[in-house]
Amino acid sequence: MTIGIIGAMREEIVPLLALYKEYESMEIAGNVYYKIAYKGANIIVAYSKIGKVHAAISATTMILRFGCEKIIFSGVAGGLAKGLNVGDLLLATKLCQHDVDITAFGHAKGFIPEGKLFYESDKYLCDKAKEVAKDMNLSIKEGVVASGDQFIANQQIKDSIVKEFDAIAVEMEGASVACVCDNFKIPYCIFRSISDSADGEASQSFDEFLESSAKISAHFVYKLVDKISL
């Protein structure tokens, strides 16, 4: 089995590489991919760089170049729902693109013709993630995650995303990975750790909690790979 693991930033994959310790690296299309042999499985790790386009390139490369059969996106996100705190673990049940807007043509916000408004995560991988959370005695939240090429630090925008998509968190890559995987029929799971509250203090809290939140995600994904590679 070949499993792909993507983070958006270097800080999001460094803790994971530290857990695996041994890997080889290769550069493809301006990005570095790390190949790990682990318990009979091949694991491909990369940080895509920030944004939907970069994440889509990395997901496509993992599928077409490395033959990844499952893809996990691990990283941080801004919390939208009340009760979500920094460090909380989050599993995306569905993903959407909050910054897509062709409502002038009568389409729902976030929808692209011949595409989908919401992309649903793989049930098997999500169930395994919930098993890992139980094994680790961790609470994990579930819900809609909205992706867009914006760092949300404005209460008005935050409120509009919640109202439009019933989203509980916002980030900049997940829905594009979901779209790629859906088109290639590859099971995927988008897992996040909350780093900020997507409000007026978002930039400050993001910088402060990025490292600790990324470590939480990395440790969880390490355990998840153990679970699905058995």
Catalytic site residue 196?
Answer: yes
Q: Cβ atoms within 10 A of the Cβ of 230, count?
A: 10
Q: Is the sign of the CA dihedral 45, 49, 55, 58 positive or negative? A: negative
| CA torsion angle 217 223 228 229 (round to 10) | 120
Catalytic site residue 12?
Answer: yes
Which stretch of DSSP H or E encloses residue 189? strand 188-196
Assigned token pair, 169 = 């968190």
Query: DSSP secondary structure string, 84-117?
Result: --TT-EEEEEEEEETT---GGGTPPTT--TTS-S
The catalytic position among 171, 173, 182, 196 is 196
The catalytic position among 12, 122, 173, 182 is 12
Active site residues: 12, 196
